Structure 1
Amino acid sequence: MLTGGAIRPATPADLPALARLCAAHAEFERADPVPADLADRLGTALFAAAPRAWCLVVERAGELIGYASFSREFSTWQAADHLHLDCLFVTEPHRGGGWGGALLAAVRGSAADLGAAEVQWQTPEWNADAIRFYRRAGAVGRPKVRFALPVAADGS
């Protein structure tokens, strides 16, 4: 079904559209709004001499319709690198067209290229469609509770 589009690495020119996709993704996941300067912040992370993260985008008819962002992380238990898939999102009108699976496969290929042992991620427990999608792709759920601990500017 993948017609009329392509998956490719994000470029600096994609940053405004990528920030809009991130905002739509955050809204979909019922998360806090993204920062107003998200495009600039992503540019720093994605396009530095030594990038902190990577991003693949789906472009169709000159429009970005999806993205996957990931970073290289280390598992102490495995003593091996893994890729953390931070986001995988395809806009509503384009879901079911195979783009999510193609993005996931591309991320898996990037993991292999970077020497990572596996790809890890999480999704909200209420997102039954995503859970079915990931299970169909061969992923195995690992139940955990995710925590966030804010750090104040003074380090406390």
Structure 2
Amino acid sequence: MLKDTAKQDGIIRPATEADLPAIARLCAAHATFERAGSVSADLATRLKPMLFSARPRAWCLVVDHRGELIGYATCSPEFSTWQASDYVHLDCLFVTEPHRGEGWGKALLNAVKKTAAAQGAAQVQWQTPNWNTDAIRFYHRAGAQALPKVRFSLPTGIPESS
């Protein structure tokens, strides 16, 4: 796992259980920014076993800027059949509006890449809304390549809040 990375009066570090309320607030801001609707009121409670159980499904890095969490990235391990190798799925990467352009997004993405490599993953993959041109430019400048795919979602009938 990533060692803490210091930068500009702050640090990128692995999230702790104590961070869950702040992570939930960041998730809510991220969902609003991406026009995805609201998150559930019990999100912090629901994230706890996903991030901090004996066998967590995902991991989270946070940007701790002078004691305030201003950004986060959540990732999970995945497998590519075509490549017969592991990769990391970057589910979320978000920095609050007042701190965009300060280098935190790049530092967070680099921390994700470094952590993924330490876990033996050959790639990090993610998606962003096609209207988010600032993010698309940011990812291109970071050396990422866009893949021509369309993302689908198929409900199974089980409520998402369970």
Could you tell me how far apart the structure 2 residues matched to 1:90 and 1:152 are?
33
**Deviation string for 1:104-130 (max 9, x for gaps)?**
000001111110010000000000000
SS of the residue corresponding to residue 144 of structure 1 reads: coil
* CA deviation after TM superposition for structure 1 residue 61, in Å: 1.3
Question: Aligned residues, how many?
Answer: 153
Q: Report percent identity of matched pairs.
A: 71
Matches within 5 A, 1:82-121: 82-121=87-126
Are 1:55 and 2:60 matched, yes or no?
A: yes
**Which residue matches 2:147?**
142
Long gaps (5+) in structure 1: none
Matches within 5 A, 1:35-50: 35-50=40-55
Give the 4+ runs in structure 1 shifted more than 2 A.
Answer: none
Could you tell me how far apart the structure 2 residues matched to 1:114 and 1:152 are?
34
Could you tell me how far apart the structure 2 residues matched to 1:58 and 1:116 are?
23
Are 1:33 and 2:38 matched, yes or no?
A: yes
**Deviation string for 1:65-92 (max 9, x for gaps)?**
0000000000111110000000000000
* CA deviation after TM superposition for structure 1 residue 32, in Å: 2.2
* CA deviation after TM superposition for structure 1 residue 152, in Å: 1.3
Please, what TM-score do these two structures have when normalized by structure 2? 0.92
Matched AA of 2:92: C
Could you tell me how far apart the structure 2 residues matched to 1:80 and 1:3 are?
36
* CA deviation after TM superposition for structure 1 residue 35, in Å: 1.3
**Deviation string for 1:45-79 (max 9, x for gaps)?**
00011110000000011100000000000011111
**RMSD over equivalenced CA pairs, Å:** 1.0
Please, what TM-score do these two structures have when normalized by structure 1? 0.96
